[in-house]
Amino acid sequence: MTKVYRKTATIKAEQFDGTKQSADQLGIFKYRGGWYLETLEGSMLVSNGYWIAIGVNGEHWAIADDVFKKTYAGLPVIPKSWADMIEEYKANHYRMDELFTEWDWNYDEQELIARAWLDGFQMED
């Protein structure tokens, strides 16, 4: 029987735009007319629009844009006050449901907070 798995680690990724500046920033080099990225498996051909991912051990790999969009979702962006609250509740060993009972949240906010609690988050600028 086939089992279903989900990815649990977050990654950092930046999209390659085909410019020399982007290549320099991402560690991509030009060779015989193509762009290449050095990976753990060797040099990998990279095209404009590919995403360059950085794994938990600092390793790099390239992902085609269509595959990246099907595989990865950005972390929720939340206000600093929400981020501080999540961190405080986690540090004090509260359960997520306690966060929802103590504050008046609408449904969309609850879903966003739950995703941020479980997956991590980015704070608004």
> Tokens for 41?
């498996």
pLDDT(103) > 80: no
* Torsional sign, CA 35, 64, 53, 123: positive
Mean pLDDT of 15-32: 94
Mean pLDDT of 46-51: 96
pTM of the model: 0.73
* 3 state DSSP class of 40: coil
* Torsional sign, CA 47, 50, 55, 58: positive
